[in-house]
Structure 1
Amino acid sequence: MYVFSFVRTYVLSLFLTFVRTFVRSIVRTYVRIYVRSYVLTYVRSFFHSFVHTYVPSFNRSW
């Protein structure tokens, strides 16, 4: 009985470790994708506003 409970706890801990690493990798991938899309959107909007603000006046000065 003791050996069985030991094996059961060992298997459960292994399973939990596996699930934890799996979930962590999935979450990391999703967070990376989300952050990349957010940063790209932010940079694109910033670039658009920058271009619309500075480029016409720059062209007019020529």
Structure 2
Amino acid sequence: MRKKSNKSSMRKQNSIILAFFIISVLLSGCGIKGPLTQKSVQVKAQQQTDYANTEQKQHSPAPKSQEN
């Protein structure tokens, strides 16, 4: 029987380590950053009205100046 060379076993070990590293990097990007709580209904409603108000301000034409 022939003994496996050190190079082939090192390559296999390095490829396994690399695979685990890549998988861990990919999995670390999943999920939500920050606290895992839901916002209350009041906060959501307030954010929606704030967003609507800013949208109206941005899309409304500039007031015309009245010259006398």
Report the TM-score, using the length of structure 2 for normalisation: 0.46
Structure in which a larger fraction of residues adopt helix = 1
Structure with bigger gyration radius? 2
